[in-house]
């Protein structure tokens, strides 16, 4: 073993740490990943038939207001000027999201001014005034009023959670943004875009250095291969970005996650939806949303097949063992369990737990990169200097 640091997980946390460690200390890195590709959940590949770039683990849009992160990622890739916008189909009609004045006026067949729309929503949201929302339904009505909540939020949320919102805690939704103008840019960040030549090219450039070795299809818990937990921990510094409960053999119990399944559809058309993301807010469509990948990259028009298009429908459900863990469920019980695992993690010699799985948190890409840059500065760099 001639690595100075072993990194478990070739997602954005692991790749950022590897890149920083080599650049700042010249140390030798060994990255392993149980999957057969780098990039973690942000990995994408080119679909041969249509020319679309498929985001294998769900749509990934890069956005940030963090200058340090924006400058950092621009060292490895240029970004397109893609601006994310989402639409939703409700009762056979298409509306813009997030809910904005366009959505409101279309829904009520009106031409309200911003002030009139605000007054209307306030009045409708007052239906349950003076009561404490007992469940997600009451919470939604109190935030935006019953008509908009029932049209755009209720059934979508029921599909996401596979549970009727009247049985879900109010705390799942803290706020439901409504814009009283026609702005339907999804993100409010300073910078936004998609990597010009794809996510995987970006990630390959981050670790293009002879001091970084990558072993794919390699499970940290498989003791028959050399880079495994029992052989390494305590002997070499390790950055672990897999599930924290798995590291401790689930000894305190399992943390709960939601997962997403994708069903692929192909159409003999150039363009099926006319946009990259179409939500379905009614209960008669079983999936939450559909992604038409070609439409993320209109600048690649010449490289795309205009006779065929590929669409992935997304089905959300609770994850069980063996499923890809996507979104932490984060009940009070989960948070308390994670606190106990965090204590155990703190007692592990020379192991840094990071990333979304290692810290049981939902992170966007810019957030995970930022947390890796900080972890390198505060923990990993000093460890390598010892
Ligand atoms: P990530 O999960 O990417 O990497 C961890 C790696 O560890 C994986 O490759 C895994 O295989 C590996 N691993 C686990 N156990 C192992 C073991 N035992 N041995 C070896 N390797 C092991 N963000 C954003 O900014 N914009 C967006 O639009 C989206 N969209 C989005 C959609 C969906 C459906 C999800 C679930 C997530 C997003 N994200 C996002 C979030 C984004 O995916 C996230 O920020 C990064 O993937 C986090 O990177 P990590 O390195 O933390 O984890």
- Digit-coded pLDDT (tens) for 4-32: 999 999 999 999 999 999 999 999 999 99
The closest of 48, 9, 3, 47 to 25, measured between CA atoms, is: 3
Tens of pLDDT, residues 196-205: 999 999 999 9
175 is catalytic: yes
Show the ligand 1 pocket: residues with CB < 6 angstroms.
8-14, 32-35, 40-42, 57-62, 219-221, 241-242, 260, 326, 355-357, 363-366, 368
Of the candidates 35, 72, 314, 363, the residue annotated as catalytic is: 314
The CATH number of 5-82+194-253+328-385 is which of 3.40.50.2000, 3.40.50.720, 3.40.50.300, 3.20.10.10? 3.40.50.720
Domain limits, the chain: 5-82+194-253+328-385, 101-172
Sort 2 into a burial class: Cβ within 10 Å, 0-12 / 13-18 / 19+.
Answer: exposed
Q: What is the pLDDT of residue 329?
A: 87
Looking at the DSSP assignment, which residues form a beta bridge with residue 189?
none
- The residue contributing the CA closest to ligand 1 atom 21 is 33
Residue 194 scores a pLDDT above 80? yes
Tens of pLDDT, residues 66-107: 999 999 999 999 999 999 999 999 999 999 999 999 999 999
Centroid of ligand 1 to alpha carbon of 40 (angstroms)? 5
Residue 333 host element (H or E): helix 332-346
Tens of pLDDT, residues 217-237: 999 999 999 999 999 999 999
179 is catalytic: yes
- The residue contributing the CA closest to ligand 1 atom 10 is 9
Least confident of 115-119, 143-147, 317-321: 317-321
**Residues contacting residue 174 through CB under 8 Å, at least 6 positions apart:** none
**pTM of full prediction above 0.90:** yes
Least confident of 5-9, 157-161, 350-354: 157-161
Say if CB 154 and CB 137 are below 8 A apart.
yes
Residue 281 scores a pLDDT above 70? yes
156 is catalytic: no
Q: What is the pLDDT of residue 163?
A: 86
- The residue contributing the CA closest to ligand 1 atom 28 is 60
Average pLDDT score over residue span 187-195: 97
What are the counts of helices (DSSP H) followed by strands (DSSP E) for the chain? Answer: 14, 16
Say if CB 184 and CB 192 are below 8 A apart.
no
Take residue 354 and report the two structure tokens written for it: 């990071």
The closest of 111, 107, 146, 106 to 126, measured between CA atoms, is: 146
For the chain, percent of residues with pLDDT exceeding 70: 100
Residue 382 scores a pLDDT above 80? yes
Sort 109 into a burial class: Cβ within 10 Å, 0-12 / 13-18 / 19+.
Answer: exposed
Of the candidates 87, 258, 313, 363, the residue annotated as catalytic is: 258
Residue 47 scores a pLDDT above 70? yes
Give me the sign of the Cα torsion angle 372, 376, 377, 379: positive
Residue 247 scores a pLDDT above 90? yes
Centroid of ligand 1 to alpha carbon of 60 (angstroms)? 10
146 is catalytic: no
Mean pLDDT in the chain?
95
Report which ligand 1 atom has the smallest distance to the Cα of 355. 52
Take residue 132 and report the two structure tokens written for it: 């404490």
Residue 1 scores a pLDDT above 70? no
75 is catalytic: no
289 is catalytic: yes
Residue 266 scores a pLDDT above 70? yes
Residue 328 scores a pLDDT above 70? yes
For the chain, percent of residues with pLDDT exceeding 90: 88
> Rounded to whole angstroms, how far apart are CA atoms 342 and 344?
5
Say if CB 50 and CB 305 are below 8 A apart.
yes
Give, for ligand 1, the residue of 8, 9, 61 to mutate: max count of ligand atoms closer than 8 Å to Cβ.
Answer: 9
């Amino acid at each position: 073993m001639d690595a100075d640091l072993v990194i478990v997980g070739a997602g954005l946390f692991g790749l950022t740490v590897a890149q920083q460690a080599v650049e700042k200390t010249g140390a030798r890195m060994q990255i392993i990943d149980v999957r057969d590709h780098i990039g973690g959940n942000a990995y994408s590949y080119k679909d041969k038939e249509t020319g679309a770039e498929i985001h294998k683990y769900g749509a990934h849009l890069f956005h940030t207001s963090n200058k340090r992160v924006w400058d950092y990622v621009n060292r490895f890739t240029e970004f397109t000027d893609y601006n994310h916008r989402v639409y939703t189909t409700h009762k056979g009609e298409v509306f813009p999201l997030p809910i904005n004045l366009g959505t409101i006026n279309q829904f009520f067949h009106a031409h309200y001014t911003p002030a009139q729309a605000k007054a209307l929503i306030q009045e409708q949201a007052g239906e349950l005034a003076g009561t404490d929302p007992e469940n997600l339904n009451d919470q939604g009505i109190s935030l935006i009023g019953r008509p908009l909540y029932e049209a755009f939020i209720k059934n979508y949320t029921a599909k996401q959670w596979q549970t009727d919102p009247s049985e879900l805690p109010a705390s799942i939704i803290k706020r439901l943004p409504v814009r009283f103008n026609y702005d339907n840019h999804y993100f409010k960040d300073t910078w936004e875009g998609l990597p010009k030549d794809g996510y995987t090219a970006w990630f390959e450039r981050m670790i293009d250095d002879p001091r970084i070795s990558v072993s794919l299809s390699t499970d940290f818990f498989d003791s028959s291969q050399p880079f495994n937990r029992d052989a390494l921990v305590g002997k070499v510094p390790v950055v672990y970005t897999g599930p924290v409960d798995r590291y401790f053999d689930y000894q305190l119990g399992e943390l709960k996650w939601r997962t997403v399944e994708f069903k692929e559809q192909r159409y003999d058309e150039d363009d099926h939806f006319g946009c990259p993301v179409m939500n379905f807010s009614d209960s008669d469509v079983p999936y939450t949303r559909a992604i038409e990948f070609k439409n993320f990259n209109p600048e690649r028009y010449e490289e795309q097949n205009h006779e065929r298009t590929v669409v992935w429908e997304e089905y959300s459900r609770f994850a069980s063992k063996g499923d890809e863990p996507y979104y932490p469920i984060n009940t009070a019980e989960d948070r308390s369990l994670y606190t106990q695992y965090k204590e155990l993690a703190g007692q592990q010699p020379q192991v840094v737990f990071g990333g979304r799985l290692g810290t049981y948190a939902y992170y966007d890409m810019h957030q995970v990169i930022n947390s890796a840059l900080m972890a390198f500065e505060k923990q990993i760099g000093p460890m390598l200097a010892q």
